[in-house]
Structure 1
Amino acid sequence: MIEAAQFVEAARSRGFEWYAGVPCSYLTPFINYVLQDDSLHYVSAANEGDAVAVIAGVALAGKRGITMMQNSGLGNAVSPLTSLTWTFRLPQLLIVTWRGQPGVSDEPQHALMGPVTPQMLETMEIPWETFPTEADQIAAALDRAIKHMNETGRPYALVMQKGSVAPYELKGGGAMPAKHALPVAQAKWTGRTPDQLPTRQQALERVIEATPAESTVVVASTGFCGRELYALDDRSNQLYMVGSMGCVTPFALGLALARPDLNVVALDGDGAALMRMGVFATLGAYGPANLTHVLLDNGAHDSTGGQATVSGQVSFANVAAACGYADAVEGDDLATLDSVLAAARERAKGASGVAGTRFVRLTIRRGTPDGLPRPTITPPDVKTRLMRHIGALAK
């Protein structure tokens, strides 16, 4: 058994200062230790997949992070682990608890996941070893993880058995983001008919115009959003998500938190936003003022044939406001988008403004231009280009 401080401080000396995760009783000492150290950063995610995406954003910023989860949460994390961190080569250290480990008595819900945990990691091509239980094992385990991460750009897992870490008391509830008064969501509907709504192309043109490459990063959701942005103007400050549907906002959150000098714009879609609505609460709690969440809502899964989503029944701005975003507005006019992007630019210049993340949902027309190309730049190359652009690559 080791002390939480022994592992966390050894990790800190190797550059690991960012943590995200979902609690497990095995992880309690770590989380309690990190929460009570102001020089470390912990994001309490709504689910394990969001936590993986947050730390992937930290990796995009050129920094090291750790995602912590119970092994039952591996199911929630499969999508970002297989189509975000693996695809873009964004490394992170995973600490996965081994509930239901064969031969160890546990609750019935862990009876299947316990035996298959190693196979799940191996199927996802994530090398793993058991978490160190002696102080003199810690450094070597971390160094093996870092070596793999540096050589492959992909995650490495430490699987934590019961009783690996001594208890560590949480005093005062731990450091949580300061609460602020909830905003009143604004609705700016003009009553336009579907064929009068702005197109995605028009919205993306406004985004490009309002996001200068020298100070802004634009992360576009998977599907036609990223493809159309690429077709309009393939800039070095842009990243086009593939797969990992719904992860664009926690990914952008990790980047924005780790790089407060950058203005980060997350381009979301209605289908993706509906898939992971828990992240609205995470962004409301942790979202910084240098992050802007733009949701382009056409009421359809456009890239898979135009099947309708249920977004017409949802007031995303009210959801964002209720979750604690600093500002939330929705409408069907490009001027609404323009005003939010302009406010974000003023914040980037150092002007006073809201102290959290802004949200705008713009209702757009269905449909996509004919012959829309797929990006020819590979995911690892677009990642490397962006990291080079923001100075995040090691010299």
Structure 2
Amino acid sequence: MIKASTFIEEAKAAGFSLYTGVPCSYLKPFINYVIDAPDLDYIGATNEGDAVAIAAGAEIAGRRSVVMFQNSGFGNTVSPLTSLNMIFKIPSLVITTWRGEPGGPADEPQHELMGQITGELFDLMRIPWELFPSEESEVKPVLARAVAHMQKTGTPYGLIMKKDVVAPHALTTRAGNKPQGAINARPAAWQDAALARPTRGEVLAEVQKQAVKPHAVVATTGFTGRALYALSDLENQLYMVGSMGCISSFALGIARAKTDRKVIALDGDGAYLMRMGSAATLGFERPQNLVHVLLDNEVHDSTGAQATVSGTADLSLVAHACGYPQVYRCATIAEFAAQLKQALAGNELTLIHIKTAPGENPNLPRPKVTPVQVAERFRQYLQG
């Protein structure tokens, strides 16, 4: 058995300073220590996949990060681990607990199968792993192997934690909602529903016009990223592929790592709905330098224009209810331009929700730059 302080302080010496994840009883001393530490950050995610995206955002912005979760939620991480971390070459240290360990302590029935295949999931995703250290002398070598792998390959490294390998650590810090200013009034209704909706391209053109250096722009997967690229391929832009629904969590990680610049997350209604719990995390964390732009055309445009459910869901009010300090609805490009300018000049987490027309240019190009090239260029931009 080791002390939580032993691993975390050694990890800190190796450069790890941001932790994110979903609690598990096995992880309790670990999470408690990080929350109590004044020089470390812990972001509690609403699901394991969002935690992976948060850590990836922090990593690409220069903060080495750790993701922690129970193995029963391992499945939630498959999308971002395989189509964000592995494709963009973004390393993170991934710690999962081993509930239902074969031959281990008796556990609940829901952990039985996952306990049998936890290591196999890492293997299937081609992420090397080993057991979390249970002796003090093992900590430094384990971290050295993890860091060496991440530096060499740019991909994650896994640790599987058995029960009771970390000694208890009582939490002394009591979390509460951050008093970062009042939430604005209920967002006003759309001014004129009869107005012709602006196109995706018109909205993205306005974003490019205003998102000048040192601002950073990350675009959700599908037509949004491709359309942004088609307008102009810029060094401050990252086009997500896969990892649907993870863009706001990814942006949160960047915003926490780079507090000196604005981060604009370009989201879509289908993606937003897929991982809507991330709105609660953002509303709690309230990064003052993040502007969340929601382009809502009520369809999955890139897969054949099948309807989403956003036509009967008020996504602005979701963000408002989750604690976003500023939430705005825009019906026209002029309104959008004004609200974006205000958000970029301000100091509060903001959602700008704009209804857009469905449809896209059938000849919309795909980026000629690879995800790895985009990520490296974006990483260098953020360090500049």
Structure 2 stretches of 5 or more lacking a match? Answer: none
1:377 aligns with 2:369: yes
1:262-305: per-residue Cα shift (whole Å, max 9, x none)?
Answer: 11000000000000000000000113111000000000000000
Match of 2:182 in 1: 181
Maintained 8 Å contact 1:220/1:266: yes
Match of 1:357 in 2: 349
State the distance in 1 between where 2:177 and 2:150 align: 30
1:90 aligns with 2:81: no
Secondary structure, counterpart of 1:328 in structure 2: strand
Secondary structure, counterpart of 1:218 in structure 2: strand
State the distance in 2 between where 1:254 and 1:82 align: 18
Residue 258 of structure 1: how far off its partner (Å): 0.5
Secondary structure, counterpart of 2:339 in structure 1: helix
Match of 1:350 in 2: none
Match of 2:256 in 1: 257
Code of the residue aligned with 1:6 in structure 2: it is: T
Maintained 8 Å contact 1:200/1:364: yes
State the distance in 1 between where 2:185 and 2:178 align: 20
Code of the residue aligned with 2:34 in structure 1: it is: V
Residue 16 of structure 1: how far off its partner (Å): 0.3
Residue 188 of structure 1: how far off its partner (Å): 4.6
State the distance in 2 between where 1:224 and 1:315 align: 22
State the distance in 2 between where 1:208 and 1:182 align: 28
User: 1:226-265 maps to which residues of 2 (within 5 A)?
Assistant: 226-265=225-264
User: 1:1-395 maps to which residues of 2 (within 5 A)?
Assistant: 1-104=1-104, 105-174=106-175, 177-178=178-179, 180-193=181-194, 196-212=196-212, 214-347=213-346, 353=347, 356-391=348-383
Maintained 8 Å contact 2:122/2:129: yes
Residue 140 of structure 1: how far off its partner (Å): 0.3
Secondary structure, counterpart of 1:125 in structure 2: coil
State the distance in 1 between where 2:120 and 2:55 align: 23
Once the two structures are aligned, what percentage of the paired residues are identical?
49
Q: What is the Cα-based RMSD across aligned positions, in Å?
A: 1.3
Maintained 8 Å contact 1:182/1:322: no
Residue 179 of structure 1: how far off its partner (Å): 6.1
TM-score in terms of structure 2 length: 0.97
Maintained 8 Å contact 2:291/2:344: no
State the distance in 2 between where 1:357 and 1:215 align: 17
Structure 1 stretches of 5 or more lacking a match? Answer: 348-352
Secondary structure, counterpart of 1:162 in structure 2: coil
State the distance in 2 between where 1:272 and 1:101 align: 34
- Give the stretch that moved more between structures: 47-56 or 100-109: 100-109
TM-score in terms of structure 1 length: 0.95
Code of the residue aligned with 1:53 in structure 2: it is: A
Maintained 8 Å contact 1:185/1:329: no
- Give the stretch that moved more between structures: 112-121 or 181-190: 181-190
Residue 192 of structure 1: how far off its partner (Å): 4.0
State the distance in 2 between where 1:126 and 1:167 align: 29
Maintained 8 Å contact 2:180/2:286: no
Secondary structure, counterpart of 2:365 in structure 1: coil
State the distance in 2 between where 1:87 and 1:312 align: 33
Maintained 8 Å contact 1:197/1:332: yes
State the distance in 2 between where 1:312 and 1:79 align: 26
